Amino acid sequence: MYSIVILGTGNVATHMFKALQASDVCYVSQVYNHKAESLESFEHKTEVTTSISKIKTADLYLLCLKDDVIESVANQLEDKTGIIAHTSGSQAILKKPNSAVFYPLQTFSKGSELDYSQIPFCLEANSEQHLKLIKDIAKSVSNQVFEISSQQRETLHRAAVFVCNFTNHLYAIGENICKNDDMPFDILKALIKETSEKVQRHSPSEVQTGPAIRKDKTTINKHLEGLSDSNYKAIYELLTNSIIKTYDKL
């Protein structure tokens, strides 16, 4: 079995630990974090350490870290012969002979239960041998494994910000709008569910609805007048104009 050391204890690290521990081709032999308190949820499940110098020999070192510390931590592993892979969507593969990328394209929260078999894993390695190893591991976890270049992964990450992070922010705005008039956000959840399910069956551009695509200026102006928050109003106008311009071209 392949041995793995996970560096990091955040959302991605927590879920990668759960997914990889359930695999039949690998196991997590150690988890590292520089803060002892961050290791408490792992210490009864595998070995833990707060010292880089005490990191064990492994086949794969999985860096589940913030983008701005990936390279500096990787530099401290230069004596390791195992593959050093990060999980970032926006960072290029490291310029080291034993580098790889093991990017799970999903939004992670520690309390969420996820079906890891449905999460796309986007892989990149600097040799066929390294690629085979991380593919073996990824395929033991997920049914969706892709070989993706650094440039393609950056594009995917950019698109993911639109469909996930920005969309969730719009949910939060919708929730605040409801609260301001004493209505429960739950009323909108059936609409949210149907909207997300439609794009599983159709291209999003084919199922756009709403006042912007109809160029319903009366409704648009009424909505703008009802928005007291200038930030919400600016977002509404920006997205409305984007929809109008997009469908004017079609």
Q: In the chain, what are the domains?
A: 2-148 (3.40.50.720), 153-248 (1.10.1040.20)
**Does pLDDT of 110 surpass 90?**
no
Average pLDDT over residues 18-27: 96
Reported pTM: 0.89
**202: its two tokens:** 């159709």
Q: Which residues lie closer than 8 Å to 123 by C-beta, 6 or more apart?
A: 100, 101, 102, 103, 131, 134, 135, 138, 145, 146, 147, 148
Angle at alpha carbon of residue 149, lines to 147 and 152, rounded to 5°: 105
**Does pLDDT of 249 surpass 80?**
no
Fill in the amino acid letter for 235: I
- pLDDT value for 54: 96
**Does pLDDT of 112 surpass 90?**
no
- What length is written for the chain? 250
What are the phi and psi torsion angles at 64 (to 5°)?
A: -95, 70
Mean residue pLDDT across the chain: 96
Q: Among 192, 203, 182, which residue's Cα sits nearest to residue 250?
A: 203
**159: its two tokens:** 């698109």
Pairing of strands 145-147, 121-125: parallel
Query: In this structure, what is the dihedral angle of CA atoms 156, 154, 28, 146, given to the nearest 10 degrees?
Result: 50
Average pLDDT over residues 229-245: 97
**Does pLDDT of 250 surpass 80?**
no
**Alpha helix locations (H) across 142-229?**
150-160, 167-180, 189-201, 211-214, 217-226
Question: 206: burial class by Cβ within 10 Å (0-12, 13-18, 19+)?
Answer: exposed
Fill in the amino acid letter for 12: V
pLDDT single digits (tens) 119-163: 999 999 999 999 999 999 999 999 999 999 999 999 999 999 999
Rg for the chain (alpha carbons), in Å?
Answer: 22
pLDDT single digits (tens) 160-207: 999 999 999 999 999 999 999 999 999 999 999 999 999 999 999 999
